[in-house]
Amino acid sequence: MKIENILQEELMKEVAGKFNIGFEEMVRFYNKANPQEISQMEKIIKNNDWGRFKALIKKVLGVQLQ
């Protein structure tokens, strides 16, 4: 395999990982959050508010997303 292909493959993995950040935490959030927190999260998602999304994940799960 050419070095260019290897580098491109690694770059694509990194990009995909960045888009997936928060998915696992979102699943864990819905399993742990109370109904009020779930309602709040649904509003946050509807408004595409990444900052509040990360803050609520941190509050409920204690996980700091980047």
Residue 66 lies in a domain: yes
Q: Which of 14, 18, 28 shows the shortest CA–CA distance to 50? A: 18
pLDDT of residue 4: 62
Residue 53 lies in a domain: yes
Residue 15 lies in a domain: no
* Predicted confidence pLDDT, tens digits, the chain (66 residues): 566 665 566 555 554 455 556 677 888 899 999 999 999 999 998 999 989 988 999 999 998 887
Q: How many domains does the chain divide into?
A: 1
Residue 30 lies in a domain: yes
Residue 52 lies in a domain: yes
Q: Which amino acid is at 15?
A: V
CA 35 to each of CA 23, 29, 57: distance values in angstroms, whole numbers, following the listed order:
19, 11, 14
Residue 42 lies in a domain: yes
Residue 3 lies in a domain: no
Q: Which structural domain range is residue 61 located in? A: 22-66
pLDDT of residue 34: 97
Residue 59 lies in a domain: yes
pLDDT of residue 65: 81
